[in-house]
Amino acid sequence: MMKRTILCLILVLITVPVWLVAQEVIGVEKVIPFSSSEVTLLPSWIKHREELNTTYLQSLDPDRLLHNFRVNAGLPSSARPLEGWEAPHIGLRGHFVGHYLSAISCLIERYHDARLVNTLNYMVEELYKCQQALGNGYLSAFPEKDFETLETKCSGVWAPYYTYHKIMQGLLDAYTRAGNKIAYEMVVRMADYVDRRMSRLDSQTIERILYSVGANPSNEAGAMNEVLYKLYKVSRNPRHLALAKLFDRNWFLLPLSQNKDILSGLHANTHLVLVNGFAQGYSITKEPTYRDAAINFWDMLIHKHAYVNGSSSGPRPNVVTRTSLSAEHWGVPGHLSNTLTKEIAESCVSHNTQKLTSTLFSWTLDPQYTEVYMNTFYNSIMALQNGRTGACVYHLPLGSPREKLWLKENDFRCCNGSTLEAFASLNNGIYYHNDSSLWVNLYVSSEVEWEKKGICIRQSGDFPKNDTVCFSVSTSRPTEFQLNLFIPSWAEHVDMLINGEKLPLKALPGTYVNIHRTWKSEDTLRLIFHPRFYIKTMPDDENVIAIFYGSSLLAFEDDSEVVLKGSHQDIINNLRIEKEDELCFSLYNHAHTYTLRPLYNIENQKYGVYATIRDF
């Protein structure tokens, strides 16, 4: 009788909408993510991917990373220069160091690894010497004259502000995540340098150098607005706020705030990071224009410009450069079926999309953001890395037949750097909280310490390979709080058991199940998902399809164009699970048997994601 009473109470509380219990935690956020130091990955295939990334980070020679900075500052260096996009003659040289500093700072915050701490401190100390030698706050691996060229010609250089921002962000992370105070002093001086440069320019010149509508714009400013807003949150210096706003250009901000889709033809990552800056601006100023621009942009991106796995970027409608023929730009809204080149879905774009999606969830608690974040996490982010070697890709092609072109270790492109950061931050986006509730948005083996509540929650399982996810609670005293569990849209049926007692409820797909109770130490909660096969189509052609099993986007292991026959339901009916523990599937179609695997498990084999149905 007592058990039935408890179950009835839980069922009543589960019906309470999640937004009614949300409380404003800080600024505009209804919830905030747990910090990197509060969430630890436990042994799993996700943890293995993190370890591959960490091994690569530890293999890099700091003196080689510092070489171009020392040369630019007139300091001696005997190190062998880096290759690829960090070579001494490349305009972007230095950008990778910013990514590197951010990535190792994130790992230090979480693991306090002495080796990485020593490396970070050494890097910052040596970069400080370079900044001191230059004498005016400037710090870069390329000369100041690149900024002069940008200001006078707006061409002839390769994105100096983009690279400068990466270094600023890396140093700011070294301070906020790893506690290096010298790094903070350095990033303030770098901001002061930009402030002085900009103060000498008239408004027309500033507009010209920040008007980045061309193909592969060489005046790409990166996320200068974002890093300056983040710096202002630390410094509270109004000059930093004013400088951040200077990089918010109305030609881009205002149409988005008015829900006008102006994305066609724009270079994707150039402008996506500006929107992350708008989101930071809203968190500080609470100006509705910033909020509206960020939310409207996300809606346009995901519903009109993104592929089935949440990634975006591809050929430009008006081709004027070699790259714009196949890559890095957004096209006509809703027209994607004719864009499946071998160079779509730039890795940087997926990484920065995740940042925006997480931010919008924290503002709204809307489960649509959770759905997209989970899809992009498994089917774009995790698919960017080779699960055996740790190598990563620049693009993630989704047509057929395709192959993943793994970047060499000495390429040092922007996407090497973004992937380093992404795989140093795989514990992000799993858990969020306010004063009274905790949200679980990803099912990844991990442990979260909710210090304010004196609670530790341990999540275990091998999702999505295994359909069962278990949670166990550790607490020094019984504690009341609400646990909100995301139920993906594909999960039409989920079994839930608390301390072995099955809850007689139906979890609605695409929503949260909310369990409000007084939790005790050693309480357990088990979720058993029942995944299914389903199809998603291109927005402009229902005969161009992709196949999912639960949370996993499947790829055909095939070296030919994948052409199928039959209706969507016919195709689903002929899908079979071959090896459930390996997530290996088969499809019999038109006298041919295909093998399918999750895209994140594809390594060196030829594959196809989108297939075409032709019944004639």
In tens, the pLDDT along 393-438 reads: 999 999 999 999 999 989 999 999 999 999 999 999 999 999 999 9
Same domain, 570 and 599: yes
What does the alpha-carbon distance between residue 293 and residue 310 come to, in Å, rounded to a whole number?
A: 19
Report residue 109: phi and psi, to 5°.
-55, -35
Transcribe 213-249 into DSSP letters: -SSS-TT--TTHHHHHHHHHHHH--HHHHHHHHHTS-
Domain of residue 511, residue span: 2-25+431-463+468-529
Domain count, the chain: 3
> Do residue 149 and residue 85 come from a single domain?
yes
In terms of domains, do 20 and 82 share one? no
d(CA 12, CA 244): 47
541 and 595, same structural domain? yes
What pLDDT was estimated at residue 504? 79
Q: What is the CATH number of the domain that holds 482?
A: 2.60.40
**What does pLDDT average to in each consecutive run of 10 residues of the chain (616 residues)?**
37 33 60 96 98 98 98 98 97 98 98 97 98 98 98 94 98 98 98 98 97 96 98 98 98 98 98 98 98 98 98 98 97 98 98 98 98 98 98 98 96 96 97 97 98 96 95 96 97 94 86 95 96 97 98 98 97 94 93 97 98 91
d(CA 57, CA 100): 8
pLDDT in the model for residue 65: 98
Domain end residue (candidates: 502, 529, 556): 529
- pLDDT on residue 615: 85
| Inside any domain, residue 597 | yes
DSSP 38-66: GEEEPSSHHHHHHHHHHHHHHHS-HHHHH
94 and 200 in a single domain? The answer is yes
- Calculate the CA dihedral of residues 262, 266, 269, 270 and round it to 10 degrees: -100
Look up the pTM and report it. Answer: 0.94
Residues 74 and 211 in one domain: yes
Looking at 200, 223, 246, which one is the last position of a domain? 223
Give tens-digit pLDDT for 239-259.
999 999 999 999 999 999 999
> Using CA atoms, how far apart are residues 7 and 455, in angstroms rounded to an integer?
23
Which pLDDT value is given to residue 14?
35
The pLDDT value recorded for residue 26 is 52
Of 487, 504, 529, which residue constitutes the final position of a domain?
529
Same domain, 158 and 187: yes
Beta-carbon-side half-sphere exposure of residue 124 (alpha carbons within 13 Å): 28
Q: Are residues 112 and 201 in the same domain?
A: yes
